[in-house]
Chain A
Amino acid sequence: MKILVTAKRVEDPESKIKVKPDGSGIVQEGLKYKINPFDEIGVEEGLRLAAKHGGEVVVVSIGTKDVQEQLRHALAMGATRAVWVNHAGALDQLGIAALLQKVVEKEKPDLVVLGKQSIDDDQNQVGQYLAEFLGWGQATFASKVESLESEAEKNKVPAVALTADGKAVRVVREVDNGLATLEVQLPAVVTTDLRLNQPRYASLPGIMKAKSKPIEELTPEKLGVDVTPRIQVLKMSAPPARKAGIKVPDVATLVEKLHNEAKVV
């Protein structure tokens, strides 16, 4: 089984994001970067599937030379090799999906596993665009039934299950008011939700090995994709601040405030 996973470079989710005074973007100074947490979950699920059914995990990222850091991270976790689409400048989801489509056509994986969204743009679109461009089935928001602290999770059992004939995957999805299960014929696109798994830490030997694993370089031009953005970000601003609240000493004061001041109880 060949599995293609993604590793977008994003701001560390723990870092404080500030908008530049002119609204042209965010303040880059002092920011740390990481693999998109949802993509990391996708890498982990890909590795578990490959461990169970045999095969390899190939990781792809798009961006400047800096994204090699995220590719090395996925390689250290256990991916076999990496594809780097070298591109500087803004990209929208149409452009990203078009690039991934070309990479998929070249790599011919059985399964593509992506994060359901990246924590910078928060668009939640690329997996679905990609599935439609390829004419494949999709199972978004893959999750699992049991707790992330369960035995199955500790044993790194994949939550995305290959069917008995090996021709489809069965995926439990997080939807409104419950869990929906789909069976999608391979090749297919799966996007990950937060509770699919707990990604492993890269081991020291893993990190050492990753240094010599191959990274293939491609460009939008080589792939024949026009990535001119069709989404213009005109202005960024900080969300309106909430007015400073107060600490109350006890329950009686809290109820008095809720009743007479906020008038919500």
Chain B
Amino acid sequence: MPIVLIVAEQQPDGNLRKASLNAISAGKALADKAGAELHLVLLAKDPAKLAEELKGTGAKAVHTAAAPEFEHYLAETYAPAIAALAQELKADYVGMASTAQGKDLMPRVAARLKAAMATDVMAINGSGADVTFTRPMWAGNVFAEVKLTTPVKVFTVRATEFPAAATGQGAAEVKTFAAKVEASKTKFVDFKEVKSARPELTEARVVVSGGRGTKGDFKEIEALADELGAAVGASRAVCDAGWVPNDLQVGQTGKVVAPQLYIAAGISGAIQHLAGMKSSKTIVAINKDPEAPIFQVADYGLVEDLFKVLPALRQAIHGLK
């Protein structure tokens, strides 16, 4: 039986990165279409706890390897271990979420497997040996249906396009494997986390984003976000200016988000920003410039100064409760 192997990701804080669950449901969809079995793999210093969590996601088996070197992720140590497992299992597909780690790691895995790779898969089509992937090109202005013709096929999954797999159902077999850790030419130095009490941008139900129009003053953006229990996002311009940390950047080259509600304040709507948020269910645009391109994708547009609108909007929403 063909095998789909999905790589699960541990965050620096030890928890499972939630996008892994979306990748697992994409893996399930692929396994169904390709008539394959779903297997998962997790590398960690101590994978036991997350393996328990992954066990209940409906996969056939969870493969784990423990090594002190896996504490800090490095493509150079992770790629050989994953590629070796894929070869041992004779996996046909190897996939992962399109997180920073997924994008860094999977091409390196693909190179070891002499595999072609599709990045940011949004849909899985066809069946059996004729499975194809739909993925974005030109900043999401084009959707391409692609077929990988190498024996092993590698891919990353755009998490917002697949539901999160439920945990606590079924009991996969947890198997440990001995990963050979190769000497690395790369050394982990440090990781500086940008801490926030707000929800993670790609997982939030509501996102409030600010652009140039804020002139760097995010107080009203943050206040509205807190009223809504929302994540804060930003356009590339404000990240470049150093007004907010860059990991708040929404766009084709930043985070791709698809919340229930996206509020864009003082954002003009460059193509690359639109690519990162136009799958949102409801989009609100607030901008002084009636010609701003953001209005073309907005369900509700308000041509007004954001510093006037945001406090009033916050109070009105508060009043609904």
Contact = CB atoms under 8 A, between A and B. Distances in A.
A129 B108 CA distance: 5
B162 interface: no
Contact of B189 (A116, A147, A170, A233): A170
B108 A239 contact: no
A70 interface: no
B192 A178 contact: yes
B132 interface: yes
| Interface range on chain A (Cβ under 8 Å from partner) | 35 or more
B247 A178 contact: yes
Interface stretch (A48-56, A73-81, A102-110, A245-253): A245-253
Interface stretch (B21-29, B58-66, B95-103, B163-171): B95-103
B82 interface: no
A250 B300 CA distance: 11
Contacts of A252: 316
Interface stretch (A58-66, A181-189, A201-209, A215-223): A181-189
A92 B119 CA distance: 12
Interface in A26-73: 26
A230 B116 contact: yes
B134 to A, nearest CB: 9
Contact of A125 (B107, B187, B302): B107
B92 to A, nearest CB: 15
A259 B283 CA distance: 13
B7 interface: no
Identify the interface centre among A177, A181, A231, A245: most chain B CB within 10 Å of its CB. A177
Interface string A1-43: 0000000000101100101000000100000000000000000
Contacts of B87: none
Contacts of A176: 11, 17, 99-101, 247
A178 B194 contact: yes
B247 A235 contact: no
Contact of B139 (A13, A93, A233): A13
B316 A125 contact: no
Given A125-B107, A195-B239, A239-B141, A178 B317 contact: no
Interface string B182-198: 00111111111110000
Contacts, number: 254
A155 interface: no
B173 interface: no
Given A150-B242, A245-B301, A251 B186 contact: no
B9 to A, nearest CB: 9
Contact of B108 (A13, A19, A138, A234): A138
B236 interface: yes
A119 B139 contact: yes
Shortest 4 CB-CB distances between A and B: which pairs?
A147-B242, A128-B107, A132-B111, A137-B185
19 contacts: A13-B271, A94-B110, A97-B111, A117-B253, A124-B103, A132-B79, A132-B112, A138-B75, A140-B103, A181-B190, A182-B187, A193-B253, A194-B240, A231-B149, A236-B142, A245-B295, A250-B302, A251-B312, A262-B282
Given A140-B104, A195-B246, A251-B316, 16 more contacts: A125-B110, A125-B117, A129-B111, A137-B76, A141-B104, A147-B242, A150-B242, A175-B104, A177-B12, A177-B194, A182-B74, A251-B313, A255-B320, A258-B261, A262-B281, A262-B300
Interface of A: 11, 13-14, 17, 19, 26, 92-94, 97, 116-117, 119-129, 131-133, 136-141, 143, 146-150, 168, 170, 173-185, 188, 193-195, 230-239, 242-243, 245-248, 250-252, 254-255, 257-259, 262, 264-265
